[in-house]
Copies of this chain bind each other. A is one copy, B any other.
Amino acid sequence: MLDRNKGIMIVGLGLIGGSYARGLKQAGYRVGAVTRSADTLGYALDKGWIDEGATSLDASFAANYDIIVLALYPGVLLEWLAANRQFFKKGTLVTDVTGIKCAVVYRAQEILGPGIEFIGAHPMAGREVYGIRNADNAIFKGANYLVTPTPANTTEAVECCEELGRTLGFGRISRLSPEKHDEMIGFLSQLTHCIAVALMTCRDTSNFPEYTGDSFRDLTRIARINADMWTELFLQNREALLEQTDLFIAQMQRIRDAVASGDAQALKQWMTLSTERRTLFDK
């Protein structure tokens, strides 16, 4: 189980990695960090968010840590694991923070092999800004934290990972399979980001800001998007995202056709269903 004698290493000190470090240090853990930027390490050390840092891993640094949190983009994550697996001590628990799971979890388990356990996690929190200078563990308060075990995971690892989420202040901790996770995130998160981007790029909008109401602002808040990260997330979750996007486009097309043919009855039925369903999503 997770206890304050355990050392936790964070790999990657961006918005999420930095916020993990800050929150775990606050909770009394010994926190080390590995990140390529010496400047970032210096900032985190100055702030007291980490106890020590390194710009690259070696066996003596790794020996101090029982848990490793990979706070890297999915592609880099797998590369980093393959290159650094040799330094991990036996019994280390490795987890992550990426927003897609199938493409990461199974490959990570394969790379690590026996003796070192990987368990996927997705902290559902973020901001429209990034980098260590925006790190703030307050973003986790009340948010969802998803653990995505596979048949290869032990109960101890699942519980330890859940405890990590509770320690960081997440509001709801859930377990679901990597497949179910990716379907759900394809719909709730990735498709919504596609929609926001499509809205902002489907036509010239330069004359519109002065007329904009809150509906449009709310719908496009997430149109300010980290292009590198989200492109990678979209492409690594290709099948699930395409399935959800196609469902949405087909329904948009049906609504469009009902407007074109003046089918008031169909429009009202969808609006009534939409109103009913949305009620369940109220906080």
On A, residues with C-beta under 8 Å from B are 124-125, 143-144, 146, 172, 174, 184, 187-189, 191-203, 205-213, 215-228, 230-232, 234-235, 238, 241-242, 244-253, 255-256, 259-260, 262, 264, 267-268, 270-275, 277-281, 283
Contacting residue for A252 out of B195, B205, B259, CB 8 A = B195
Tell me if B270 and A197 are in contact (CB < 8 A).
yes
Give every chain B residue within 8 A of A277 (Cβ-Cβ).
200-201, 205-206, 223
User: Does B274 contact A143, Cβ atoms closer than 8 Å?
Assistant: no
Known contacts being A212-B281, A218-B221, is A231 close to B267, with CB within 8 Å? yes
Cβ 8 A contact of A281, one of B174, B216, B278: B216
Q: How far is the CA of A217 from the CA of B188 in the complex (A)?
A: 9
| Residue pair A208, B187 in contact (C-beta under 8 Å) | yes
A108 to B251, CA, bound (A): 35
CB distance from A224 to the nearest CB of B (A): 5
Q: Which of A226, A232, A267 is most buried by chain B, counting CB atoms within 10 A of its CB? A: A267
Q: Is the CB of A213 within 8 A of B124?
A: yes
Docked complex Cα distance between A53 and B211 (Å): 34
16 A-B pairs (CB sep. < 8 Å): A144-B211, A144-B213, A188-B208, A188-B211, A189-B213, A195-B219, A196-B219, A197-B255, A201-B277, A202-B247, A206-B277, A215-B222, A216-B281, A230-B271, A242-B260, A248-B252
Most chain B beta-carbon contacts within 10 A, residue among A196, A197, A212: A197
Contact between chains at A194 and B255 (CB < 8 Å): yes
A225 near B143 (CB under 8 angstroms)?
no
- Determine the chain B residues whose CB is within 8 A of the CB of A260 once the complex forms: 238, 242
A248–B155 Cα distance when bound, in Å, is: 46
Give the complex CA separation of A247 and B201 in angstroms.
9
Contacts of A281 in B (CB 8 A): 205, 208-209, 212, 216-217, 220
